[in-house]
Structure 1
């Protein structure tokens, strides 16, 4: 079962060029060699910082844990901290709610991520709502749900509900619609610590 290794940080502004060189030449290749393939990097367009989200995929939890215990990982991560601040990370595993959705992939060009905790005692109602109402309603708005993940290691919220859209204007139009507002109102009866971000691909472009 593929797992995600998500990392978050802010780039130190006057270290941008050095950061890009480091990521391209050192960090991404090193992680891949260790068994964590960086499949996408995102910039936060709308939502809370940190500004960068790096998404790595590992074959399974054991493979990811072995990689993170290697001295080579500690060294490359220590070097990263010369160029970024506010670093944090999470390990996520896929939920079993949508087994038909692709796992271990990242689609763009615009991503809409929602995060929450299920209110204790409302798990059954949540499951029914997500499967029968939320998922088809999101699809009806033109927002393609691509996965639901659970945080195994890392701070809450504990559920990551991820979707994509073909362009920013289509997504923003959907998110400001009455239908989405009503959908969110119903969702908030079942979850707490709700948050969301609109993400775009993070490209390595020097100033």
Structure 2
């Protein structure tokens, strides 16, 4: 997943990610495995990788009411959101 933090919501964004987003995705069976911040350049500010046990678990999580709720909350703090589901492999995914 990638996104840019809305500048006027940075403090609230960080509180939400630590207090609600990370625990929420973990409850759905998705494990945060990478988080990157772009310091310089014309790329998304944040990149986060989540891993599911298998493809069916990923599909269930991403179609769940909990995902809909937590992603809608995230959208209040970010812009230019994008995500894709890819098979896991060793090393950097993208």
Q: TM-score, normalised by structure 1?
A: 0.43
Give the structure with higher Rg (CA).
1
Written as runs of structure 1 = structure 2, the 5 A alignment for 1:169-180 is none
Q: Is the 8 A contact 2:51 2:88 kept in 1?
A: no
Written as runs of structure 1 = structure 2, the 5 A alignment for 1:119-158 is 146=91
Residue number in structure 2 paired with 1:67: 61
1:44-65 per-residue CA deviation (whole Å, 9 max, x = no partner) reads 2354321100111111101100
Total equivalences in the alignment: 94
Residue number in structure 2 paired with 1:76: 70
Q: Do structure 1's residue 20 and structure 2's residue 22 form an aligned pair?
A: no
Structure 1 Cα separation of the partners of residues 11 and 81 of structure 2: 19
Q: Identify the structure with the greater helix proportion.
A: 2
Structure 1: gaps of 5 or more residues: 1-6, 96-102, 104-145, 150-159, 161-207
What's the CA shift for 1:40? 2.1
Structure 2 Cα separation of the partners of residues 57 and 47 of structure 1: 27
SS in 1 for 2:38: strand
Which residue, out of 4, 7, 10, partners 1:10? Answer: 4
Cα gap change, 1:61 to 1:47, in 2 (>3 Å)? farther
Structure with bigger RCO (C-alpha 8 Å, 6+ apart)? 2
4+ residue segments displaced more than 4 Å? none
Residue number in structure 2 paired with 1:164: none
Structure 1 Cα separation of the partners of residues 70 and 88 of structure 2: 27
Cα gap change, 1:94 to 1:25, in 2 (>3 Å)? closer
Residue number in structure 2 paired with 1:57: 51
SS in 2 for 1:93: coil
